[in-house]
Amino acid sequence: MDCCPSITVQAMSESEAVEAARRFKALSDPARVRLLSLIAESGEICGCDLEGPLGLSQPTVSHHLKVLAEAELIHKERRGKWVYSHLRQEGFNALREVLTTRTRKTLPRTAARS
């Protein structure tokens, strides 16, 4: 069987892996994935407008928004008594980088393995 080149150009550092895992962990809950989808679709949305579509209470929505903000996937801004959220593109760019396979140039196969 021929040897195949690695699909990644360079392995992640430990700190990069920790950051990526933190963001992926934030997305491990279906409610947070839906929240992110609603925020992305609207561009910016008030937390009060997220309870109905998700069927969740205000404290639960607030908790999920906090987790997404700590993972740097959204930014929250208080305006009076309301909190508005929008996506943080840099957080998504970091995840995109992890998920994008960067292939090496295929090396000539000179030897077969038995």
Q: What is the pLDDT of residue 38?
A: 95
In a domain, 34, yes or no: yes
Range of the domain at 76: 14-99
* Helices 58-70, 30-42: inter-axial angle, 10-degree rounding: 80
CATH number, domain of 43, equals 1.10.10.10
- 12 or 28, which is more confident: 28
The span from the CA of 14 to the CA of 38, in Å, is 32
Q: What are phi and psi of 2, to 5 degrees?
A: -75, 150
In a domain, 53, yes or no: yes
Q: What is the pTM of this model?
A: 0.76
Q: Per-residue pLDDT averaged across 25-41, rounded?
A: 95
Q: Please count the structural domains in the chain.
A: 1
In a domain, 112, yes or no: no
Taking only the tens place, the pLDDT of each residue in 37-92 is: 999 999 999 999 999 999 999 999 999 999 999 999 999 999 999 999 999 999 88
User: 34: closest CA among 54, 9, 11?
Assistant: 54
